[in-house]
Structure 1
């Protein structure tokens, strides 16, 4: 796997933000009210969440630069949910303004960082600014797909998919090991060393989509254990950055 450095992460953030902004600019008023790929959420909910996470990550950096720490969202998970529900019904113009402002704020904050700045601690996952940048990359890229405008997981880059393999290793159940075998690429093992092994074969983006709880788009995935075909294994919940209970 190619390591993610601050330099190439900044490029990826600009690319992902450009995709989100481009999709938002092409939506109509009716499009915003239509269902997204996420159950129970309209595209307006997804746009509200994208604005919220970009602003939330920006303030992580802004407080960290002052030597302070602040939770990701005001009011934690409940505050996040309330804010999304309140903003979901905004007009198209309001969503565009919110998304553009939030993305601009976050990108500007990341652009001002020097080498040491990427390693400053933040409250998000008890990590550092680099972890916040990776989280924003994930949110922008995956939720651009969730908007359901035809840009599916097949558009995810190799670097992004390989990052998901590493980050979503937390979804492998205890005592199990998944050997991810993307077509034409080296295998990647995640989970418990020596655990019960299941091989997952398929296109790179399809494996990443499955791990992320999204629908593979390029073909079928195949799972084998001890050389026998088996069902795709169950996954643990997504490793949440904001606790659902306080």
Structure 2
């Protein structure tokens, strides 16, 4: 598995932002109050979160370029949660405007980077700016599907699925070895446990399952020692914060 180049990641970020905008445009008036696919969250909660994480990742880049580190959210986890609850009840147009402004801020921050600046240290995951770009890619693509407005995991491209396999390998329990067999693609092993489970299906369905989402195409099949078995339970999402959303 290979990561995209900075230029490739920028292209993916812009495509993901365009897809999210199109998905928001399909939400009917009042639809912001309907449930998202995330338990306990309306679309309004999710849109408020998207606004918040775009701004949070943008400021990681903005501060990092000036040699400064700053926590992901003002006020940490509590500040993040308060901001979501305060903004969740906004009108649909307010959410659209907020998300558009936050995405534009984030995209502008990444677009302005020189090649060397992608390796600048930041506080987020004690990593570098490139890690923040990958995080923004995940947030935009996955939460577009979570809005439940006509754009599901079946639209995820092969490059994004490959990135999720790499990033979400941390969800495989220590005692398990997962052998992923995407249709028409080479198999891939995650984990090194003594108990081997083979998970086959469409690449997007496998990626959705690893991400804790409902597969769109219902193609998954799990086997162990040649016999059918249940999909294994996965460890929590490898979040940079205690809240896994």
TM-score tier by shorter-chain length is over 0.9
Secondary structure at the aligned position of 2:30 is classed as helix
| Aligned equivalent of 1:227 | 226
Unaligned runs of 5+ in 2: none
1:88-103 to structure 2, matched below 5 A, reads 88-103=88-103
Alpha carbon RMSD of aligned pairs, Å? 1.3
Deviations 1:168-193 (A, max 9, x none): 0010011211011001100111112x
1:96-245 to structure 2, matched below 5 A, reads 96-192=96-192, 195-244=194-243
Give, in angstroms, the shift of residue 163 of structure 1. Answer: 0.4
- Asked whether the equivalents of residues 72 and 242 of structure 1 are also in contact (C-alpha less than 8 Å), the reply is no
Query: Could you tell me how far apart the structure 1 residues matched to 2:77 and 2:196 are?
Result: 35
Give, in angstroms, the shift of residue 2 of structure 1. Answer: 4.5
Deviations 1:41-64 (A, max 9, x none): 111111101110000000000110
Query: Could you tell me how far apart the structure 2 residues matched to 1:3 and 1:54 are?
Result: 21
TM-score, normalised relative to structure 2: 0.96
Give, in angstroms, the shift of residue 96 of structure 1. Answer: 1.3
Deviations 1:136-194 (A, max 9, x none): 000000000000012110000000001000000010011211011001100111112x5
Give, in angstroms, the shift of residue 25 of structure 1. Answer: 2.8
Query: Could you tell me how far apart the structure 1 residues matched to 2:107 and 2:198 are?
Result: 38
Query: Could you tell me how far apart the structure 2 residues matched to 1:242 and 1:31 are?
Result: 29
Give, in angstroms, the shift of residue 72 of structure 1. Answer: 0.6
Unaligned runs of 5+ in 1: none
- Asked whether the equivalents of residues 26 and 149 of structure 2 are also in contact (C-alpha less than 8 Å), the reply is no
Secondary structure at the aligned position of 1:169 is classed as helix
Query: Could you tell me how far apart the structure 2 residues matched to 1:175 and 1:114 are?
Result: 42
Secondary structure at the aligned position of 1:27 is classed as coil
What number of residue pairs does the alignment pair up?
244
Deviations 1:87-123 (A, max 9, x none): 1101122111111110000000000001111000111
